[in-house]
Chains A and B, each alone.
Chain A
Amino acid sequence: MNTHPPERPRILLHDPTLRDGHHAVGHQLDADQLRAYATAANAAGVPVVEVGHGNGLGASSLQIGRARLDDATMLTTVREALTSARMGVFMAPGWGTSGDLAAAVHRGADVIRIAAHCTEADVTERHLGVVRDLGAEAQGVLLMSHMTGPGELAEQCALMAKFGAQAVGIMDSAGHYLPSEVTGRVHAIAEAVDVPVIFHGHNNLGLAVANSLAAVDAGAVVIDATARGFGAGAGNTQLEVLVAVLERRGIETGIGLREVLSAADVAADRLMKAPPSIDSIAVASGLAGVFSGFKRPVLESARAEGVDPVDLFLALGERQVVAGQEDLIGDTARQLKAATR
C-alpha cells in the first residue's frame, strides 16, 4: 500500500507490557513469559520493550508486592530476546537507587525512565545525572499527573530536561484524564521543553487510546502502549489498537500491523488469564484519581475488612494517596469499617 520509501517514524511507541502488566498479575511473570512476549514484540518492530517489577527497579517488596523474578533475571531474560528493540526500565528514586541503575545498564538497559510524582521532579536530579553518566538514554516521567495542572507540569518537565532528561512527560497513572485535559497538558509541556514529550495512558474511563491520540495531536512524540492493554487497573493504552489508529491517521510508527497483532496474541495467550477490562472498580478508581496499581491490594483489604471496594477507592482518593503508599490501604479500610458500624 505504501509506495513511498519508509519515513523515519514520527511517533515512537514505548511498550511497558512486561513492566506495567506486572500489576495485573501480582508481579508474577516468569522467564518463559518474558521471553515469549519480548521475542514477539521485537519481531513486530516495537522500538522499546520495557521490563521490570510493576513499580520498577528496586520496588519488589512486601509493601508493593514481591516479584517472582529478581530485577537481574528479568533484564537478562528480555535482553537476550531483543535483537533490534531497545530495552527500557523504570525507576522511581526512593524505591530504587543508583546501584539499581548501574546494575540495569550492566545488564543491557538502553532507555531508563526516572519517575517522580507530579510535583516532585527535583527528586530526579541525581538519578537522571547518574543515567547520563552511565551512557544510557535518560527519560523523566511524572506520575499521577492529573493531580496538578498544565503550568506546573510544564515547569516540572522543564526541570527534568535541565537535569539531563532526553525525553520528558506525564503518566495518567489513575486513568483519570479526558482528552481535552491531555491536550492542554501536553501542549504546555511541548512549549516548555526542547526534548520529545512522553504520554502514558490508562483506560479506567475508556479513553486511553483517545487520550493518546490527543497527546500526539498536541505534540507528544513518545507514546506508551501495551499489548491487549495489559497493565495496572483497567489496563493501559492498547498497543495494537493504537498502531491501527495511528495508521488510519497516516502516522508512521515503524511497527507492522500484522506483526503487532501477532505479538498481542502472544501476550493474550501467554501473559494473562483475561485481558484487562473496565470493571466497576476500575471506573471508581479512575474517577477517584487513585493509582491504578492499587486495584489488587484494594480488593484484598476490602475483602478482609468487609467494606465495599468502591467506597475504599473513593476514601483513598479523598486522602490523595500516591503510588508507594500501599500501607495506607489497610488502615483506610479499617477506618471505613469503624465508621460504618
Chain B
Amino acid sequence: MAADEQRLRAAVLGAGLIGVDLADRIRRSGKLELALVAGRDRDSLGLRRAAEMGHPTTVGGIRAVADTGPFDVVFDATNADSHAEHWAALRPTGTTLIDLTPTGLGTVIVPGVNSHRSAAHQHLNLVSCGGQAAIPVLYAISRHCTPSYIEVVSTGASASAGRATRLNLDQYIATTSAAIRTFTGAQDAKVMVNLSPARPAPPFRVAMTVLADGIRPAAVRTSIAAAAQAVRAYAPGFEVTSLAVDPGRIAVAVEVTASGGRLPRHAGSVDIINAAAVLLAEQSAAASR
C-alpha cells in the first residue's frame, strides 16, 4: 500500500498503562506504523497485553530500541529517572523522541499552544497529564491578564496511575509548575496531585485557580470555551465543568474522560497525554513529507 510507505515507524518505550495505550493508538493511526513496544520485564502485565494485542514486543528496553532502529519517532513512556539515558542513546540516531515522563528536559510542547515549534526539535517533552489538561486553559487566560499566582490541583483515579507515575510525583509537580510559569508568565505556580480511591472511579479532574488583576469576565469566558473546543479536537472527553470569574480571581475546573479506545472511561489522564503525543507524531509525519 502506498499509504504504508509514508507512515512513520514508531517505537514505544515502556509497557505500563501509558505505553500499552499508546501502542494501541499508534496501531489505529493512519500516519504511524507501530514497529516495537519495548519493556524490561518479561512477566509484566503490560508487555504481555501488548503481545496479546499483536504488537511487536521486546524485553530489551532502550538497548533493543537503539539496536533495532532507526525509528522515525520513539515515545518514552517509562519514568522520569530513566529518560535522560534514553535520550542519550537515541540522540545520535536522529530519531524524534517524544517524552511522556515529567522531566521537562526536551522542548516542552502543548498542542494548540506551541505545537508549531515541535517540528524544529528532535527532543519533545509533554510536561504531564495535568499539564496537558491545564495549560491550554491557563494559556488562554493569560492572553488577557498577567497572573500573579496560579494553583492547579489534579485528581486522578487510583486505577489510572501506574507505578512510574506514583514514583515520579515530585518531578510531576516540579515540571508542571515550571511549564505553567513559562506558558503563562505567572510569577508563582503551585501544583498538587490527588489520587482518588473512590469507586466507581471518577474522571480525571484538574481544578485551577488564577489570581490576576484586570480580569475581563466575558473575554476570559470566551477564550476558555475556545481553548476547550480546540483540545476536544484531539481529546474529545475534555470538558470545562465549572467556571467562576470574580474580581482578581478565576476558578475553573476541567474533567477529562477517555473514549473511543480501550481505556476505561475514568482514565482521562492517560487519554489526554497520549492523544497529545500521537497528534504531535502525526503532525511530524505530515511535516516530513
> Chain A: residues with CB nearer than 8 A to chain B?
59, 61-63, 93-95, 97-99, 117-120, 122-123, 125-126, 144, 147-148, 319-322, 324-325, 327-328, 330-331, 334
Determine if B166 and A125 form an interchain contact, defined as CB atoms under 8 angstroms apart.
Answer: yes
Closest Cβ of chain B: how far from A184's Cβ, in Å? Answer: 19
Determine if A322 and B173 form an interchain contact, defined as CB atoms under 8 angstroms apart.
Answer: no
Number of A-B contacts (CB under 8 A): 87
Determine if B197 and A120 form an interchain contact, defined as CB atoms under 8 angstroms apart.
Answer: yes
Known: A94-B195, A126-B167, A334-B242. 7 other contacts (CB 8 A): A63-B209, A120-B158, A123-B169, A125-B166, A321-B196, A325-B155, A327-B205
Query: 1/0 per position for B119-157, CB-CB distance to A under 8 A?
Result: 000000000000000000000000000000001010100
Determine if A331 and B151 form an interchain contact, defined as CB atoms under 8 angstroms apart.
Answer: no
- The reply on B262 being an interface residue by CB < 8 A is no
Determine if A126 and B170 form an interchain contact, defined as CB atoms under 8 angstroms apart.
Answer: yes
CA distance A120 to B253 in the complex (A): 24
Determine if B253 and A331 form an interchain contact, defined as CB atoms under 8 angstroms apart.
Answer: yes
Determine if A122 and B194 form an interchain contact, defined as CB atoms under 8 angstroms apart.
Answer: no
Out of B153, B166, B198, name the residue touching A319 (CB < 8 Å): B198
List the B side residues contacting A331 at CB < 8 Å. Answer: 241-242, 253
- The reply on B202 being an interface residue by CB < 8 A is yes
List the A side residues contacting B242 at CB < 8 Å. Answer: 330-331, 334
CA distance A319 to B200 in the complex (A): 9
Determine if A322 and B192 form an interchain contact, defined as CB atoms under 8 angstroms apart.
Answer: no
Closest Cβ of chain A: how far from B196's Cβ, in Å? Answer: 6
Closest Cβ of chain B: how far from A58's Cβ, in Å? Answer: 8
Determine if A94 and B169 form an interchain contact, defined as CB atoms under 8 angstroms apart.
Answer: yes
List the A side residues contacting B251 at CB < 8 Å. Answer: 330
Given A63-B209, A327-B253: A119 and B174 within 8 A (CB)?
Answer: no
Closest Cβ of chain A: how far from B161's Cβ, in Å? Answer: 8
- The reply on B289 being an interface residue by CB < 8 A is no
Determine if B241 and A325 form an interchain contact, defined as CB atoms under 8 angstroms apart.
Answer: no
Out of B158, B196, B209, B244, name the residue touching A325 (CB < 8 Å): B196
Given A324-B155, A334-B242: A99 and B197 within 8 A (CB)?
Answer: no
Out of A320, A322, A327, name the residue touching B153 (CB < 8 Å): A327
Could you list some 20 contacts between A and B, CB below 8 A?
A61-B153, A63-B151, A63-B153, A63-B192, A94-B173, A97-B169, A117-B196, A119-B197, A120-B166, A120-B195, A123-B195, A125-B166, A126-B166, A319-B198, A321-B196, A322-B197, A322-B198, A324-B192, A325-B155, A334-B242
| Chain B, interface SS category | strand
List the B side residues contacting A93 at CB < 8 Å. Answer: 166, 169-170, 193
List the A side residues contacting B241 at CB < 8 Å. Answer: 331
How many residues from B make CB contacts under 8 Å with A?
29
List the B side residues contacting A97 at CB < 8 Å. Answer: 169-170, 173-174
The residue in chain B whose Cβ has the minimal distance to the Cβ of A100 is B170
- The reply on B207 being an interface residue by CB < 8 A is yes
Determine if B151 and A61 form an interchain contact, defined as CB atoms under 8 angstroms apart.
Answer: yes
Closest Cβ of chain B: how far from A4's Cβ, in Å? Answer: 47
CA distance A330 to B195 in the complex (A): 19
The residue in chain A whose Cβ has the minimal distance to the Cβ of B170 is A97
Out of A99, A117, A320, A321, name the residue touching B195 (CB < 8 Å): A117
List the A side residues contacting B158 at CB < 8 Å. Answer: 117, 119-120
Closest Cβ of chain B: how far from A28's Cβ, in Å? Answer: 19
- The reply on B190 being an interface residue by CB < 8 A is yes
CA distance A148 to B197 in the complex (A): 10
Given A62-B209, A119-B158, A331-B253: A322 and B194 within 8 A (CB)?
Answer: yes
Determine if B192 and A95 form an interchain contact, defined as CB atoms under 8 angstroms apart.
Answer: yes
Determine if B166 and A118 form an interchain contact, defined as CB atoms under 8 angstroms apart.
Answer: no
The residue in chain A whose Cβ has the minimal distance to the Cβ of B150 is A62
CA distance A62 to B199 in the complex (A): 27
| Residues from 165 to 196 in B contacting A, C-beta threshold 8 Å | 166-167, 169-170, 173-174, 190, 192-196
Determine if B193 and A94 form an interchain contact, defined as CB atoms under 8 angstroms apart.
Answer: yes
CA distance A319 to B198 in the complex (A): 7
